[in-house]
Amino acid sequence: MLTGKHLIAGEWIGSATTYASDPAHGPSHDFAVGTSAHVDAAVEAAEEAFASFGWSTRAERAALLRRIADEIDARGDAITEIGTQETGLPDARLQGERGRTIGQMRLFAEYIEKGDYLDLRHDPALPDRAPLPRPDLHMIQRPLGPVAVFGASNFPLAFSVAGGDTAAALAAGCPVVVKGHPAHPGTGEIVAQAIDAAIKATGVHPGVFSVIQSSGTEVGTALAQHPLIRAVGFTGSLRAGRALFDLCAARREPIPFFGELGSINPMFILPQAATARGADIAAGWAGSLTIGAGQFCTNPGIAIIIDGSDADVFQSAAEAELSGMASQTMLTDGIAEAYREGVARVAGGTGATQIMGTNCDSRHAAPCLFVVSGDDWLADHRLQEEVFGPLGVVVRARDTTQMQQIARSIEGQLTCTLHMDDADRDTARALLPLLERKAGRLLANGFPTGVEVCDSMVHGGPYPASTNFGATSVGTLSIRRFLRPVCYQDIPPDLLPEKE
């Protein structure tokens, strides 16, 4: 079923001999490596497609999104089979993620049909107004044009070829060019086959969607710099995200770069909750920390608790839970290597003590637990950096004042969590205004892994959690990234792109 080729505007092209995937299990496959010439072809086709797709009706785009969902569903077994081989993720995880991917396509179809996202505003003409008449003014949110999407390694379906960025951009009316992630090229190709089939079935311009297989930076760099690309959606590391953000900003005509770069997602365990149910919170934390081998951007990497006997109970319970957990296969050798480096970095942090955990072989990771005092954590910035994998740090704060100091000191986060009981309300009231400035999502008595795809979700946050704190990459609000407001003054109503 795999060709190893790129899909460029409805054609499968490229010679599939230049790059072999490095799967976790099963056979390796050959894939083509994209070049800037492929980027030019895909982006020019996308620009041509925008002439019609940008003016397509919402019903036409909803039909395309629903058909994509159906075509992905129809290829479910093939996707799971290659997905497990490539990523090492279990069947159930890939089936669940497929459900989410299909669900978000259908959610966007429903959402654009309602039309609220257009934020239509109309100030009717006041021809008799003195001293000056008012013209007729319509404001409509309009699609930007071709969008580049970078597939993420850790969500081979929901944040990749047909993931949230692609769904939001297509829903808005923007053609999409995807840079495939080299960690799951086969999964990406089968999903691309589904989108290709949907495009052919619905009669949409084929330039609306392309995927370029790629390993290395040439394709990504060319996409971010291409003058016809109007925005970029990205999920991945701070290093790569920052490099691409800088490229987008340095263009002659800068474009928005929507990078979701992850965070350490601090969890504050307030005193009464710690006394009442510290061991239960520790058990929940251990589960959230290790799900998917900890390869989630919402992984709650640090737990802040007041030093003392409750902290002892919490720490011992976390250690006991994590000690019973086996090592897991990481997504790529590179990510496993980065995890080992992260463990070493934390181990070298000021005052950090490793409580449990061992290093593993090339593609596996075992949970690791560290403890550090609030003073040392505040003194050493290395302890604030994300470790992508199942690593937790217990930060033992002196008192609630130091908890507030820690809240003030943290960088931008996707999430911050409070574990609190009724008697903790005053402590929570003091922390919330601090944390609200740091994170896109605030939780009470829960765990941040498991991001709901819905209207209210915000999956973003101040830098470095994301490069654009006004945006979310999950949920229906994410469509706003690919729209811009246009005011139509005295344009005859039948010429407007959307009618009231």
In the window 367-396, what residues touch ligand NAP (CB under 6 A)?
Answer: 388
Alpha helices in 258-351 (DSSP H): 271-290, 309-323, 333-347
Given the residues 174, 248, 297, 416, the one annotated as active site: 297
Interface with ligand NAP includes 152 (CB under 6 A)? yes
Q: What is the 3-state secondary structure (H, E, C) of 97-154?
A: HHHHHHHHHHHHHHHHHHCHHHCCEEECCECCCCCCCECCEEEEEEECCCEEEECCCC
Stretch that binds ligand NAP, among 16-24, 166-174, 194-202, 215-223 (CB under 6 A): 215-223
Interface with ligand NAP includes 62 (CB under 6 A)? no
Interface with ligand NAP includes 485 (CB under 6 A)? no
Q: Residues binding ligand NAP: what is the number (CB under 6 A)?
A: 25
Long-range Cβ contacts of 279-285 (<8 Å, 24+ apart): 279/313, 279/314, 279/317, 281/314, 281/419, 282/313, 282/314, 282/315, 282/317, 282/318, 282/321, 283/317, 283/318, 283/321, 284/447, 285/318, 285/392, 285/447
Interface with ligand NAP includes 359 (CB under 6 A)? no
Whether 297 sits among the annotated catalytic residues: the reply is: yes
Smaller CB separation from ligand NAP, 50 or 388: 388
Q: How far apart are CA 345 and CA 152, in angstroms?
A: 24
Interface with ligand NAP includes 459 (CB under 6 A)? no
Q: How far is CA 92 from CA 76, 80, 285, in A?
A: 12, 9, 21
**143, 156, 220, 294: which one binds ligand NAP (CB under 6 A):** 220
Given the residues 71, 189, 260, 386, the one annotated as active site: 260
Q: How far apart are CA 256 and CA 115, in angstroms?
A: 24
Q: Least distance from C-beta 404 to ligand NAP, angstroms?
A: 26
Smaller CB separation from ligand NAP, 333 or 436: 333
Q: Which residue is nearest to ligand NAP (CB)?
A: 262
Stretch that binds ligand NAP, among 80-88, 151-159, 160-168, 170-178 (CB under 6 A): 151-159
Smaller CB separation from ligand NAP, 69 or 297: 297
Interface with ligand NAP includes 214 (CB under 6 A)? yes
Task: State the burial class of residue 37 (Cβ atoms within 10 Å of its Cβ: 0-12, 13-18, 19+).
Answer: exposed
Whether 86 sits among the annotated catalytic residues: the reply is: no
- What is the contact surface with ligand NAP in residues (CB under 6 A)? 150, 152-154, 179, 181-182, 214-217, 220-221, 235-237, 240, 243-244, 261-262, 297, 335, 338, 388
